Amino acid sequence: MTLRRTTTTRRAQAAVALTAGLILSAAGCGGGDDGKGDEKPSSSSTTSDSGSGSEKPQSPSPSSAKPLAEVKSGDVTVSVLSATRDQGGYVTVSGQVTNNGSKFWIAADWRGEERELSKNGASLAGASLVDQAGKKKYLVLRDTEGRCLCTKFEGGGVATSQSASWYAQFPAPPEGTTEVTFQVGAMPPAPIEISEGE
């Protein structure tokens, strides 16, 4: 008897839950042909759009942003799209590298010369920021195992007529310092301006 009552009770609860779900689904899907139902969804969607996505239209995407700097060496072009000082005491520099040549570009000289960085392979481990006014050079941050806080290129580089996004994180120069030079591999130095993060 107890088993039969338990099974019957569970079935009744499942039926009530299913019915309630169907009623709520029908109420949510019904827009109302009288025009009143159309007003509420549009106002709620406006509220959710303004609450969660208000920042997106204000900040351009990296592909449409004007580069802070652009340097070329042979068939390779490096664009620096942003350099942001974060509250954690570091600067994140990001951009794109484009291979305009007829051969696969290998980022071998970008990985750095230090033995500790050899595990990073084709990456921006050898990049640096130079504060000429303060006469200091900042190397890419790395973890305790020598892995850089930077992009590691899949396949070792960039294919012909392709671009790849990249980033590298550095210790932040002093608060008053906004003008630095980004340097990686044999690429010419790229003067950039650091902006303050949120």
Percent of the chain with pLDDT over 70: 66
Q: In this structure, what CATH number is given to the domain that contains residue 100?
A: 2.60.40.10
Structural domain including 189 reads 69-196
Report whether pLDDT(35) > 50.
Answer: no
User: How many Cβ atoms are within 10 Å of 104's Cβ, its own excluded?
Assistant: 13
Expressed in angstroms, the distance from the first to the final Cα of the chain is: 65
Per-residue pLDDT of 163-172, as tens digits, reads 999 999 999 9
Cβ contact 149:143 at 8 Å: yes
Same domain for 10 and 73?
no
Residue 57 counted as domain residue: no
Same domain for 173 and 94?
yes
Mean pLDDT lowest among 7-16, 32-41, 57-66: 32-41
Which pTM does this prediction carry?
Answer: 0.64
Across all residues in the chain, what is the average pLDDT? 75
Residue 59 counted as domain residue: no
